[in-house]
């Protein structure tokens, strides 16, 4: 998508669906093989046949370049896609690649070694490589993003995952063509730019394992093209007097969401459980997996006590009946809602630290697609669960 290789003539079909069709056609012709799938059945990895790989390298030799350390660099004007294969921990990003001023792609393959893209080098990238569409700086141990990122006007795909970034500069919102922003595994990020709604082309926002994220930016709900939003943190509105709070109702218009969504901090809604219904999760028919955390972060925050409001909250968080994965953590009610028994395509159900649950829904007997029931920190014995729900192939209880 970022390179413009997917062209749709049908406005009703999104580029993601068309790209998936391309991939499945290649798979059927053995261009790709050995696919790996997640528990929802989606393909998450594959291999390319050696002969196909050799052919691809031959066909693309004038446009693609892989530079390894100590290897003489090419200066061909035709190079559009560049990768650096970094093998040493003390390697520094050279500036010689700036000769390729027509670059569309720049990948830094660091293998998790210490490789710094400091501000002076980044500023050079932003000033010289103005036509970049794809920039991958994952695993580069970055702690800050240069404000000059806003100069890359044509950028469509930006991967800053697995770094030590604490703050995303506001200038990133100048990237009006940006479709994919991957900030996953930056555990120190606390907030996103307040005016993120200016990223009008954004379709994929990956915040996986951004565990310190305190709130979502206001007007996030204006990004109605979003198909990926991995995390949504419920705001504690009595905090931050100077900043507009983000309500869970920001999710109401995001009906194109796919993949996995985690909503955390649900205990902050106990004083107003009616507000939860405004999220309209049951209208998000493309979602594959939903995780519901009552704590604001992935880790427990102190002792919990029974709370009847949690049952009202969970009742109103009913997802579309085609969801395939559901995880509930730190829920403090006594019973789960009946709608769980209507999730006819559910394959995975996880319950973690739900200390006050008295029983499991009888509707679980109707879920013939359910393959895994994982229960950790809940008052149920393995023997009782297996006896009452013998049709579930794998039951994991700790």
C-alpha R_g of the chain: 23
- CA–CA separation, 107 and 5 (whole Å): 18
**pLDDT value of residue 98:** 77
Residues 6 or more apart whose Cβ sits within 8 Å of residue 302: none
- CA–CA separation, 121 and 142 (whole Å): 12
**pLDDT value of residue 111:** 61
Say how many C-beta atoms besides its own lie within 10 A of residue 44's C-beta. Answer: 9
**pLDDT value of residue 66:** 85
Say how many C-beta atoms besides its own lie within 10 A of residue 381's C-beta. Answer: 10
Residue 294 CA, distance from chain mean position: 20
**pLDDT value of residue 238:** 42
Instruction: Say whether 197 sits in a helix, a strand or coil.
Output: helix
Give me the sheet containing 394-397, strands edge to edge.
Answer: 231-233, 259-264, 287-293, 325-329, 348-352, 372-376, 394-397
Specify whether the CB–CB gap between 292 and 266 falls below 8 A.
yes
Q: What is the DSSP letter of 109?
A: E
**pLDDT value of residue 205:** 98
**pLDDT value of residue 55:** 93
Specify whether the CB–CB gap between 265 and 233 falls below 8 A.
yes
Residue 121 CA, distance from chain mean position: 28
**pLDDT value of residue 125:** 84
Q: pTM above 0.85? A: yes
CA-CA distances (angstroms) from residue 314 to 93, 252, 275, 302?
49, 16, 12, 21
Specify whether the CB–CB gap between 228 and 262 falls below 8 A.
no
**pLDDT value of residue 88:** 63
- CA–CA separation, 168 and 213 (whole Å): 12
Q: Which residues of the chain carry a pLDDT beneath 70?
A: 69-75, 86-95, 110-118, 236-245, 297-303
Question: Where do the domains of the chain lie, and which CATH numbers do they carry?
Answer: 16-57 (no CATH), 60-213 (3.80.10.10), 239-249+259-398 (3.80.10)
Burial state string for 336-360 with b = 16 or more CB within 10 A and e = fewer than 16: bbebbbebebbbbbbbbbbebbeeb
DSSP result, 23-63: HHHHHHTTSEEEEEE-TTS-EEEEEE-HHHHHHHHHHTTTT
**pLDDT value of residue 93:** 62
Instruction: Say whether 349 sits in a helix, a strand or coil.
Output: strand
**pLDDT value of residue 242:** 45
**pLDDT tens-place string over residues 155-187:** 999 999 998 899 999 999 999 999 999 999 999
Instruction: Say whether 127 sits in a helix, a strand or coil.
Output: helix
Asked whether the CA dihedral 356, 283, 159, 143 is positive or negative, the reply is negative
Q: What is the DSSP letter of 255?
A: T
**pLDDT value of residue 122:** 81
Q: What share of the chain is helix, strand, coil (3-state, %, to 5)?
A: 25, 20, 55
**pLDDT value of residue 241:** 43
280 conformational bin, left if phi > 0, alpha if psi -120 to 50, beta if neither = left
How many residues are recorded in the chain?
Answer: 398
- CA–CA separation, 13 and 171 (whole Å): 32
- CA–CA separation, 380 and 355 (whole Å): 10
- CA–CA separation, 381 and 130 (whole Å): 61
């Amino acid at each position: 998508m970022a390179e413009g290789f997917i062209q749709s003539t049908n406005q009703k079909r999104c580029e993601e669906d068309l790209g998936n069709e391309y991939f499945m056609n290649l798979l059927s012709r053995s261009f790709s093989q050995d696919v790996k799938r997640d528990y929802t059945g989606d393909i998450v990895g594959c291999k390319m046949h050696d002969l196909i790989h050799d052919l691809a390298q031959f066909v693309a030799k004038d446009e693609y370049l892989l530079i390894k350390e100590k290897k003489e660099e090419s200066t061909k004007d035709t190079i559009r896609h560049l990768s650096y294969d970094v093998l040493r921990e003390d390697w520094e990003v050279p500036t010689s690649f700036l000769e390729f001023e027509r670059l569309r792609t720049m990948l830094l393959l660091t293998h998790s070694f210490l490789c710094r893209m400091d501000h002076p080098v980044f500023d050079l990238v932003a000033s010289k490589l103005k036509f970049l569409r794809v920039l991958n700086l994952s695993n580069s141990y970055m702690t800050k993003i240069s404000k000059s990122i806003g100069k890359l006007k044509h950028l469509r795909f930006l991967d800053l995952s697995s770094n030590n970034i604490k703050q995303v500069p506001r200038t990133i919102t100048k990237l009006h063509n940006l479709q994919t922003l991957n900030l996953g595994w930056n555990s120190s990020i606390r907030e996103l730019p307040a005016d993120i709604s200016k990223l009008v082309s954004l379709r994929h926002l990956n915040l996986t394992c951004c565990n310190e994220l305190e709130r979502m930016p206001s007007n996030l709900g204006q990004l109605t093209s979003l198909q990926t939003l991995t995390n949504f943190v419920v705001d504690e509105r009595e905090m931050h007097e100077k900043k507009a709070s983000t309500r869970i109702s920001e999710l109401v218009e995001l009906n194109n969401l796919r993949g996995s969504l985690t909503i955390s901090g649900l205990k902050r809604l106990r004083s107003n459980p009616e507000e939860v219904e405004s999220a309209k999760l049951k209208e998000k028919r493309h979602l594959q997996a939903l995780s519901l955390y009552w704590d604001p972060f992935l880790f427990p925050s102190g002792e919990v006590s029974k709370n009847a409001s949690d049952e009202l909250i969970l009742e109103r968080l009913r997802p579309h009946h085609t969801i395939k994965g559901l995880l509930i953590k730190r829920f403090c009610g006594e019973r789960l809602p009946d709608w769980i028994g209507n999730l006819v395509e559910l394959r995975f159900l996880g319950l973690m630290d739900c200390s006050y649950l008295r029983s499991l829904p009888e509707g679980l007997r109707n879920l013939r697609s359910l393959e895994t029931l994982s229960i950790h920190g809940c008052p149920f014995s393995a023997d009782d669960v297996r006896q009452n729900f013998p049709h579930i192939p794998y039951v994991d209880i700790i």
